[in-house]
Structure 1
Amino acid sequence: MSWDWFTSDDYWSSRLVFQKLLAIWYLVAFVCALNQFRALLGEHGLLPIPDFLARVGFRRSPSLFHAHYSDRFFAAVAMTGAVVSAVLLGGVADLVPVWACLLLWAVPWVLYLSIVNVGQTWYSFGWESLLLETGFLAIFLGPAHTGVPTLVLWLLLWLLFRLEFGAGLIKMRGDRCWRDLTCLYYHHETQPMPGPLSWYFHHLPPWMHRVEAAANHGAQLVVPFALFAPQPAASAAAGVVIVTQGWLMISGNFSWLNALTITLAVPAVDGAMLGVPPPDDLAAPPLWYGAIVIAVTAVVAVLSYWPVRNLLGRGQIMNYSFNQLHLVNTYGAFGSVTRDRYEVIIEGAEDDVAGPTTEWKEYEFKGKPGDPHRRPPQVAPYHLRLDWQLWFLSLSSRYGGRWLPALVTKLLEGDPQIRGLLRHDPFAGRAPTHLRARLFHYRFTTPAERAETGAWWVREPVGTVVRTCRLDTDGTPVPV
């Protein structure tokens, strides 16, 4: 039986690059989980996984943790995922039979699915589902000693199309500033977590912001169709995606969203452009492997009904999974852009009685703006989950849910796990007697202000998020 219809050997090197990059982002994701889970999701975390498992069954959130949960087991799952990701990065999957390669790539997908499905608020963003959907399709790409399955390449391009086109549509249907090309007057300053260059991007002249917005529309609403065109058009389209996503990477911190989007563009690149020719002795895929790839393609085709309906419908939603396995999702970002930046600043005090003369000391977080003189850091592709949620809290107190009272309690207790999420604990591990959270309005300094003061931000208090409180005798925070 001839497999010429099934494989695309011209994309052999593109597959290798794609797999290496994906292994890196898997590794980053598992390291993020390992470093932050105890404070956020552990047995004594802000949103404990055991409490979630008691409320939600396996069918609603498939996860290994339904069989057993302990903080030690979670750490073992995350560590295993990190190790397997490193093994994949090292190319071990290319040295084993096809069946073993598929199983090896399935391991991080199963492990990360288990984490995301119990991650609650902390894992509710589009890049989690994007990593899972990408990782699922990557299972079926096969090892380096076989031909590249054409159908899987098309499925990856279909994913990239939905990601880019969905993001473009939600902008045009959403905030008016995308249609009049003025959204980037505000975005670089008000995005969830600015980066080291965001101040400079914000101060670009208005005409450049309008060019940015127009180029974004072209990259997301026009270019994705060329991904399915013959070469070299498909490679050119991939190049546009890579350049625009790289621009987004240096202008802000969006976890591994932009890096993974760049990775998804690689399968569209003609392998000859990468300068690494395929081996002459590529093995024909086993018959059972071809059958699996065809079956997966059929499943994706059926599941595509829901995201396509969402794209074409007037009530388009962003970043939604239509099934518990996070397959064939809908994506999108920044359907609306905030015009003003607010930050929640948490402060503690050690006075026995809080009053007008109390000295309040500010907790400093690793990524979110706090000290006006601190330059916004580069965080992505790493993801600081608590910092990110605090940006949403600044938009509305309803985003605090159950985790904000828990955070207040643990800060008043001097919880060491929570302190591990901080850049600076003003009490050096001691528990404060009082705590409060105030809302500040932030804006970037002008070039003249920056030259004079050295500050990156100007801020002023505008309200209260958490009133001054202390721990009661039963260990719960009470206002004073």
Structure 2
Amino acid sequence: MSLHDLAADNSWAARLVLQRGIAAVYVIAFLSGLAQFPALLGERGLLPVPRFVRIAGRRRSPSIFCWHYSDRFFRLLAAAGALIGVTVVAGLPQLGPPWLPAVGFLVMWAIYLSIVNVGQIFYAFGWESLLLEAGFFAAFLGSDSTAPPWPVIYCFRWLVFRLEFGAGMIKMRGDPCWRDFTCLYYHHETQPMPGPFSWYFHRLPKILHRVEVAANHFAQLIVPFGLFAPQPAASIAAAVVIVTQLWLVASGNFAWLNWLTIVLAFSAVDDGFLHLRHAPASSLGPVWWVGVVCAFTALVVVLSYWPTRNLVSRHQLMNAPFNRFHLVNAYGAFGSITRYRDEIVVEGTDADRIDASTSWLEYEFKGKPGTPIRRPRQYAPYHLRLDWLMWFAAMSSPERHPWFVAFLVRLLEGDPATLRLLARNPFPDRPPRYVRALLYRYRFTTWRERRRTGAWWSRELLGTYTLPLALYGLGGTAHARGGDR
């Protein structure tokens, strides 16, 4: 067998987009880690990696950081990963033999796997596994001197199928609002991090929300099968996926999930569909490379047993890795939709004592809703991890989120790394004496309210999320509304 037998001569553009697009997302992920990881998970982080490693052990979470962790070492590895990603985006490794881009992607995958496996709840998102799987797959696409291997191209299509069809099935098996076409009555308002246009999406007529749900079902339950159809049907199916993902980009902030899905969907786009032509590769590649591609394909086929079984299971798992290396995973999103939006508002005060007249100043987060007058902003594909965790924390008591009390302590200490995660620190000169957290119910304003007040949100105080805390008396936290949350 030669590489000619595995050649996908109509997938040169697909390979270019896959390699450079996936590498670009890795660059974003590493830069995000450099900016946020030490404050969240570093030596003095909210959930320190050294403590986690002592508890979890090496076998449970394979990671370079199981052998050694320091913030300096983390920054060195993350910077190296970002630098490798930049070279792939520029196309430099692709100019060499097929093993050169493979080494680049495998190094990025290994570094990011090490980060995810010690990242705990701050890295427990489906798009972490998606990026890891995509990066591992990209290692076997070859270089510009060899034709794209069709088994790897089809592995990417299989990845997109699991991503889209898994998301469609988890919805049909989950919240009944997906089956009665009403989920979008709520979703644009209650999603984890609305974007600058989410207010307008939420205010669309309800009939259009029902059309949105119907289009979602079509795109996720029917279109994915077209990815394996002959051309041009496969390219058309990919185009539908891309348009759907761009709609999601416009309506919210989902880190790099949508952008990476767009890149992956190009695996089904034919050069002829784009009216492109490419000269045949000058070299078919060495025999050993053919063997590597075949071994990779066999590995994917074997590991596909578990996600395939999950797709047809009544008890389908959402965003589940079936191995410690996050390869060939199960995906899905929004199997249930929240009907209302509760937000935690963190405040501090310089007062010596607390009474009814105490003046409290509010901390402002970068992405999550806070001051009602502030318009939601676009951050994706960048991932604001603290802001996302605040959305989850508002759904339950602080006892279920031990990182949250640690976060309040860092505010009392005036920790610079933690404060850099926020948009506004109301105590720039010295830390507050007390901090507290309140729970509010948020909703988007109506057209009339928006014109009258200029506010994007209206909020109503529900109660206390944590009692006032001070460094000299961290006696515990309190549940809002009598402990029912």
TM-score exceeds 0.5: yes
Distance 1:437 1:48 in 2: 23
**8 Å CA contact retained: 1:129, 1:326:** yes
Which whole-Å CA distance do the structure 2 matches of 1:262 and 1:429 have between them? 45
Give the drift of 1:57: 2.1
Q: How does 1:67-146 map to 2 (within 5 A)?
A: 67-146=67-146
Which whole-Å CA distance do the structure 2 matches of 1:215 and 1:479 have between them? 44
CA distance in 2, matches of 1:47, 1:400: 13
- Aligned partners of 2:94 and 2:100 also within 8 Å: no
Q: Which residue of 2 aligns with 1:268?
A: 268
Partner of 1:159 in structure 2? Answer: 159
Distance 1:398 1:276 in 2: 56
Identity of aligned residues (%): 56
1:371 is aligned to 2:385: no
Q: Is the 8 A contact 1:409 1:477 kept in 2?
A: no
Residue 314 of structure 1 pairs with residue 314 of structure 2: yes
The 3-state SS of whatever aligns with 2:297 is helix
1:47-74 Cα offsets, whole Å, 9 max, x none, are 0111111112222111111221110000
Amino acid at match of 1:329: N
Deviation per CA, 1:35-57, whole angstroms, max 9, x where unpaired? Answer: 00111011000001111111122
The answer on whether the counterparts of 1:14 and 1:274 sit within 8 Å (CA) in structure 2 is no
For the structure 1 residues 3 and 78, does the alpha-carbon distance in structure 2 shift closer, same or farther, using more than 3 Å as the test?
Answer: closer
- CA deviation after TM superposition for structure 1 residue 283, in Å: 1.4
Equivalent pair of 1:470/1:479 in contact (CA under 8 Å): no
Q: Distance in 2 between matches of 1:429 and 1:67?
A: 39
CA contact 2:3–2:290 (8 Å) conserved in 1:
no
Check 1:220–1:479 CA distance in 2 against 1; reply closer, same or farther (3 A cut): closer
How far off its partner does 1:2 sit? 4.9
- 5 Å-filtered alignment, 1:283-294, equals 283-294=283-294
Instruction: Provide the C-alpha distance between the structure 2 equivalents of 1:419 and 1:477, rounded to a whole number of angstroms.
Output: 23
For the residue of structure 1 that corresponds to 2:6, the secondary structure is: coil
Q: Distance in 1 between matches of 2:270 and 2:336?
A: 36
The 3-state SS of whatever aligns with 1:463 is strand
Contact 2:8 2:149 in 1 (8 A): yes
Q: Hey, what's the Cα distance between the residues in 1 that align with 2:281 and 2:363?
A: 60
Deviation per residue, 1:269-305 (Å, 9 max, x gap): 0012334422334310211111111111111111111
**Alpha-carbon distance between aligned partners in 2 of 1:426 and 1:398, rounded to the nearest angstrom:** 23
Q: Which residue of 1 aligns with 2:7?
A: 7
**What SS does structure 2 have at the residue aligned with 1:395?**
coil
3-state SS of paired residue (1:30) = helix
Alignment correspondent of 1:48:
48
Tell me, in whole angstroms, the C-alpha distance in 1 between the residues paired with 2:290 and 2:399. 46
- Answer whether contact 1:343 1:369 (CA < 8 A) is retained: yes
The equivalent residue for 1:353 is 353
Which digits, 9 at most, give the CA deviation of each residue in 1:454-474, with x for residues without a partner? 00000011022111121227x
Conserved 8 A contact 1:416-1:429: no
- How big is the shift at 1:4? 3.6
* Separation in 2, partners of 1:477, 1:364: 25
Distance 1:232 1:399 in 2: 54
* Residue in structure 1 matched with residue 63 of structure 2 by the alignment: 63
Alignment of 1:47-446 (within 5 A): 47-397=47-397, 400-446=400-446
Deviation at 1:330, TM superposition (A): 0.4
3-state SS of 2:234 partner:
helix
> For residues 198 and 399 of structure 2, what CA distance do their matches in structure 1 show?
25
Inter-partner Cα distance in structure 2 for 1:429 and 1:83: 36
Moved more, 270-279 or 213-222: 270-279
3-state DSSP class of the match of 1:58? Answer: coil
Kept after mapping to 2: 8 A contact 1:188/1:201:
yes
Structure 1 equivalent of residue 483 of structure 2: none
In 2, the alpha carbon distance for the partners of 1:88 and 1:4 equals 24
Q: How far apart, CA to CA, are the structure 1 residues paired with 2:77 and 2:350?
A: 39
Question: Which digits, 9 at most, give the CA deviation of each residue in 1:319-364, with x for residues without a partner?
Answer: 0111000001000000000000110000001101011010000000
User: Which amino acid is 2:384 matched to?
Assistant: L
Alignment CA distance shift 1:62-1:479 (3 Å) = closer
Instruction: Report the CA distance between 1:399 and its aligned residue.
Output: 7.6
User: Equivalents in 2 of 1:325, 1:314: separation in Å?
Assistant: 25
Alpha-carbon distance in structure 1 between the residues aligned to 2:12 and 2:477? 63
Supply the AA of the counterpart residue of 1:28.
I
Q: Distance in 2 between matches of 1:398 and 1:465?
A: 7
Deviations along 1:367-408, one digit per CA (max 9) or x if unpaired, are 000010000000100000000000001111268422011111
TM-score using structure 2 length: 0.96
Measured at CA, do residues 478 and 225 of structure 1 come closer, stay the same or move farther in structure 2, by a change above 3 Å? closer
Q: Where in structure 2 are there 5+ consecutive unaligned residues?
A: 479-485
Task: Return the offset for 1:429.
Answer: 4.6
Q: TM-score w.r.t. structure 1 length?
A: 0.97
Cα distance change, pair 255–419 in 1 and its aligned pair in 2 (3 A): same
Which range moves more in the overlay, 444-453 or 15-24?
Answer: 15-24
Whole-angstrom CA distance in 1 between matches of 2:433 and 2:476: 12
Secondary structure in 1 aligned to 2:272?
A: helix
Contact 2:345 2:362 in 1 (8 A): yes
Query: Aligned pair count?
Result: 478
Counterpart in the other structure of 2:465: 465
RMSD value, Cα: 1.3
In the aligned structure 2, how far is the partner of 1:304 from the partner of 1:398?
Answer: 38
- Amino acid of the structure 2 residue aligned with 1:153: I
Code of the residue aligned with 1:437 in structure 2: it is A
State the alpha-carbon separation in 1 of the partners of residues 145 and 259 from structure 2: 27
Q: Displacement, 1:141?
A: 0.3
Cα shift at 1:100:
2.1
Q: Deviations over 1:141-172 (max 9, x none)?
A: 01111100010001000010000000000000
Deviates more, 1:59-68 or 1:44-53: 59-68
Residue segments in structure 1 that go unaligned for 5+ positions in a row: none
